[in-house]
Amino acid sequence: MGLALYIHWPFCLAKCPYCDFNSHVRASVDVPDWRAALFADMAHEAKATGNRELTSIFFGGGTPSLMPPALVAALIDQAARHWQFAPDIEITLEANPSSVEAANFAALAGAGINRVSLGLQALDDATLKFLGRLHDAREGLAALDVAQRHFARVSFDLIYARPGQTPEQWETELYQALALGTGHVSLYQLTIEAGTKFATMVREHAFEPLPDDPAGDLFALTREITAAAGIPAYEISNHARPGEESRHNLTYWRYGDYVGIGPGAHGRRGGVATERHKKPENFLRAVAEAGHGIATQRALGDKEQAAEAVLMGLRLAEGLDPEALAHRFGLTAADLIRPDKRKFYADLGFLTDTDRHLTVTEAGMPLLDALLAELVPAALVTSS
């Protein structure tokens, strides 16, 4: 299996009220300093992994579409110096759909970006204002049009299960979204994350989140509509035409090796977990002192890796092969998944268990978190 590279650009123009990602607002960014730091951080990971084949690069954030295209090009060039590029390497950049950032799309395509993921989040102005987005609906759709002209593959995000949202409203918006013609969409239910502005607003009763049952109905409706449109869910929140799946994210979900550079980036390579310093200033200081931005690094035991692989793999429509996965980590299938629960939930119709392959069914996907808690032995999870 190849190697994936994640590059984190932590800066945003504003912090969205629902966002708990490692993003920061700064009055200015010293691009030469960041170029040098990211180069050094990448070189450290290249030394740790050797000359492996790189199958994908993902620029995430933050808002990496705020990066100068010349810096994006330089980072891709550095990656090519450190690793072999797969012939069909996927190079994705997350972008906000503003007119300012869309003006850079041609240059970003020239830099080597061949896939873009746009944070549309909604298709109406009232919702975009509620979500704290800086673009309006018209600007977002215009940016999508520009992206489709410059990049071979385009995805976009939408947030649903918003306060008071009805099935009729979401159905109308989802059909409008699918008509835009991209081969991939990421559709996320609004969750209230601790430490966000939305968490404070909910605590102060500024709004009420959509209850679980109506949100579950919207989840089922989403999967029904996207499947009928030929863009089925291949992961619990991600939908694509066959062949348009995010190869980078599939590396995570199939528990392949990936390296992460930049503030707060995580990595899993060679059985070692890495995490970078989150605060931009601390990251720069660490690179200057140690030659890399790693805050913590530790070896993962076989059981911990197996638990992570099961938790990730069952998110996918393709599911996993418990016996093959167990063999990979020197365990048995019963070590990974409780046989009694495996049979019980298969009998209930929440799992499909055939020919050594285990998948979560349409009936089971809305209950995924609860199913995982039941299926994975506590001893495996607590082995970390």
Which CATH number is 203's domain given? Answer: 3.20.20.70
Domain co-membership, 104 together with 172: yes
Distance (Å, whole) CA 350 – CA 227: 19
Residue 273 lies in a domain: no
Label residue 356 by pLDDT band (50, 70, 90): confident
271 Rama class: left (phi>0) / alpha (psi -120 to 50) / beta: left
Residues 6+ apart with CB under 8 A from 322: 310, 333, 336, 337, 356, 358
Domain co-membership, 199 together with 310: no
If one counts the domains in the chain, the total is 2
Domain co-membership, 238 together with 362: no
Domain co-membership, 153 together with 81: yes
Residue-averaged pLDDT of the chain: 95
Task: Kindly write down the DSSP assignment for every residue of 184-223, as one continuous string.
Answer: EEEEEE----TTSHHHHHHHTTS--PPPHHHHHHHHHHHH
| DSSP bridge pairs for 59 | 7, 93
When pLDDT is averaged across residues 248-262 and rounded to a whole number, the result is: 97
Residues 6+ apart with CB under 8 A from 51: 82, 83, 84
Label residue 360 by pLDDT band (50, 70, 90): very high
When pLDDT is averaged across residues 189-206 and rounded to a whole number, the result is: 96
pLDDT higher than threshold 60 for residue 210: yes
- 337: helix, coil or strand? coil
Which pTM value belongs to this model?
0.96
Domain co-membership, 91 together with 190: yes
When pLDDT is averaged across residues 11-17 and rounded to a whole number, the result is: 93
pLDDT higher than threshold 80 for residue 69: yes
Residue 354 lies in a domain: yes
Per-residue model confidence (pLDDT) at position 2: 85
pLDDT higher than threshold 80 for residue 322: yes
- Buried/exposed code over 332-346 (b: 16+ C-beta within 10 A; e: otherwise): ebebbbbeebbeebb
Per-residue model confidence (pLDDT) at position 383: 58
Residue 261 lies in a domain: no
Per-residue model confidence (pLDDT) at position 33: 97
pLDDT higher than threshold 90 for residue 100: no
- For residue 308, the enclosing domain spans 303-381
Domain co-membership, 92 together with 222: yes
Per-residue model confidence (pLDDT) at position 309: 96
When pLDDT is averaged across residues 115-138 and rounded to a whole number, the result is: 96
- List pLDDT tens digits, range 289-320: 999 999 999 999 999 999 999 999 999 999 99
Domain-terminating residue out of 218, 252, 286: 252
Residue 195 lies in a domain: yes
H-helix segments, the chain: 31-49, 69-82, 99-102, 105-111, 125-130, 137-150, 167-178, 197-203, 212-228, 247-253, 280-290, 302-313, 322-328, 333-336, 339-347, 368-375, 378-381
Per-residue model confidence (pLDDT) at position 51: 86
- List pLDDT tens digits, range 324-351: 999 999 999 999 999 999 999 999 999 9
Residue 50 lies in a domain: yes
Residue 375 lies in a domain: yes
pLDDT higher than threshold 80 for residue 223: yes
Domain co-membership, 193 together with 341: no
Residue 12 lies in a domain: yes
pLDDT higher than threshold 90 for residue 157: yes
Which CATH number is 358's domain given? Answer: 1.10.10
Of the chain, the percentage scoring pLDDT greater than 90 comes to: 94
When pLDDT is averaged across residues 52-72 and rounded to a whole number, the result is: 96
Per-residue model confidence (pLDDT) at position 208: 96
**Which two tokens mark 237?**
């929140």
Domain co-membership, 227 together with 313: no
Residue 76 lies in a domain: yes
- List pLDDT tens digits, range 23-59: 999 989 999 999 999 999 999 999 999 989 999 999 9
Given CA atoms 201, 205, 210, 212 in this order, what sign does their dihedral have? positive
Domain-terminating residue out of 220, 252, 284: 252
